[in-house]
């Protein structure tokens, strides 16, 4: 296979070597953004001798980025259909219509519309010798009904070790197969990462999915009382902006 150069790879190499935080901003998961995420994760894991986590972490990040772009697209769809997201009946009706249409091409089309409305997805990587934190944010709300569904599903997911068994019992089909988040949980569990370090919820009016990977015993989760050791959010990092490409 011909090697396509990863955009901004020199910047990524230099930034990771310097311990910088990275923020990727995009509207949809294009091939080039996928490559970028893969390369960034590989560069960070290599720096801390954790290459073995590449496949699991890349799958997890990709899943939550797809969820985020889908959520933005879903919001555009509801707007177009004149349906309110936070109205129970509208929501049920909207999801019914959406289910008939949902496909790769629908996601692309509505990804473009999300772009026209400046709805973004940001992917932030913060790392040091004690651990890595990946946060994916998007503009669309997680609805209380979805949040409850997510919470129950993740709680149930932690009791399984294998996705097939979970699927047989739980395929809820509300939107996609509803397997992505539990798949993430099981992938992380298989790498001996505490499932509590994978969170999905609302923070400051945005949807947020966070994956934390400890590298040492000194790792402090952002949920802990003292998340020291990490570059704080207001410190300058690299921002790679792919909004023009998607
Ligand atoms: N970033 C997000 N913003 C808003 N809602 C979200 C977000 N991420 C997940 N959700 C909600 O959580 C639900 C569960 O996500 P999950 O990834 O498990 O399933 P899915 O994406 O519907 O299907 P699959 O991943 O199997 O294709 C989604 O259907 C969606 O309603
Ligand atoms: Mg999903």
Distance 18 CA to ligand 2 centre (A): 33
The residue to mutate among 26, 27, 67, having the most atoms of ligand 1 within 8 angstroms of its beta carbon, is 67
What confidence score (pLDDT) does residue 233 get? 41
pLDDT at 2: 47
Contact 137, 241 (CB under 8 A): no
Whether 199 is in a domain gets the answer: yes
- Tell me whether residue 11 is in a domain: no
| Domain containing residue 63 | 21-241
Query: How far, in Å, is the centroid of ligand 1 from the Cα of 180?
Result: 7
Q: Which residue has tokens 């998340």?
A: 227
DSSP string covering the chain: -PPPPPTTHHHHHHHHHTT--EEEEESS--HHHHHHHHHHHHHHHHHTT-GGGHHHHHHHHHHHHHHHHHHHHHHHHHHHTT--TT-HHHHHHHHHHHHHH-SHHHHHHHHHHHHHTT--EEEEEEEETTEEEEEEEESSPPPHHHHHHHHHHHHHHTT-S-HHHHHHHH---SSS-S-HHHHHHHHHHHTT--GGGEEEEEETTEEEEEEEEESSTT---TTSS--TTSPPTTS--EEEE-TTT-
94-98, 117-121, 221-225: least confident range: 221-225
8 domain residue, yes or no: no
Point out the ligand 1 atom lying closest to the alpha carbon of residue 200.
8
Residue that is written with structure tokens 């009904």 in the block: 145
Q: Does some domain include residue 72?
A: yes
This prediction's pTM: 0.86
Any domain includes 15: no
Is residue 4 domain-resident? Answer: no
User: What is the chain's mean pLDDT, rounded?
Assistant: 83
pLDDT of residue 239 exceeding 60, the answer is no
pLDDT band at 245 (very low <50, low <70, confident <90, very high): low
Q: What is the mean pLDDT of residues 186-205?
A: 86
- Phi, then psi, of 27 in degrees rounded to 5: -105, -30
Q: Determine what percent of the chain is predicted with pLDDT higher than 70.
A: 85
pLDDT in tens, 110-162: 888 998 998 999 999 999 999 999 999 998 777 777 777 788 888 888 788 77
Does 14 map to a domain? no
Task: Give the residue whose CA is nearest to atom 8 of ligand 1.
Answer: 67
Number of domains in the chain: 1
| Ligand 1 atom with minimal separation from the 182 CA | 18
pLDDT band at 46 (very low <50, low <70, confident <90, very high): very high
Q: Which ligand is nearest to the CA of 71?
A: 1
Q: Confirm whether 215 is domain-assigned.
A: yes
Taking CA atoms only, the protein residue closest to ligand 1 atom 20 is 178
Atom of ligand 1 nearest to the CA of 176: 23
């Amino acid at each position: 296979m011909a090697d396509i150069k990863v955009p901004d790879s020199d910047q990524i190499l230099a930034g990771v070597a310097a311990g910088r935080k990275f923020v990727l901003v995009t509207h949809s998961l294009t091939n080039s953004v996928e490559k970028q995420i893969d390369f960034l994760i590989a560069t960070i894991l290599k720096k801390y001798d954790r290459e073995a986590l590449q496949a699991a972490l890349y799958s997890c990040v990709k899943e939550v980025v797809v969820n985020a772009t889908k959520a933005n697209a879903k919001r555009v769809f509801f707007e177009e259909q004149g349906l309110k997201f936070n109205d129970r009946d509208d929501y049920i009706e909207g999801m019914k219509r959406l289910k008939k249409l949902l496909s790769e091409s629908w996601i692309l089309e509505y990804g473009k519309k999300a772009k026209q409305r400046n709805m973004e997805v940001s992917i932030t990587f913060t790392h040091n010798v004690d651990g890595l934190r990946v946060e994916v944010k998007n503009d669309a709300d997680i609805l209380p009904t979805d949040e409850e569904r997510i919470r129950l599903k993740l709680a149930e997911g932690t009791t399984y070790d294998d996705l097939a068994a979970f699927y047989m019992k739980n395929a809820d089909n509300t939107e996609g197969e509803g397997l992505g988040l539990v798949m993430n949980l099981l992938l992380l569990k298989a790498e001996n990462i505490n499932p509590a370090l994978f969170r999905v919820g609302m923070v400051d009016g945005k949807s947020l999915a966070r994956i934390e990977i400890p590298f040492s015993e000194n790792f402090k989760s952002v949920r802990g009382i003292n998340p020291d050791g990490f570059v704080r959010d207001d410190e300058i990092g690299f921002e790679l902006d792919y909004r023009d490409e998607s």
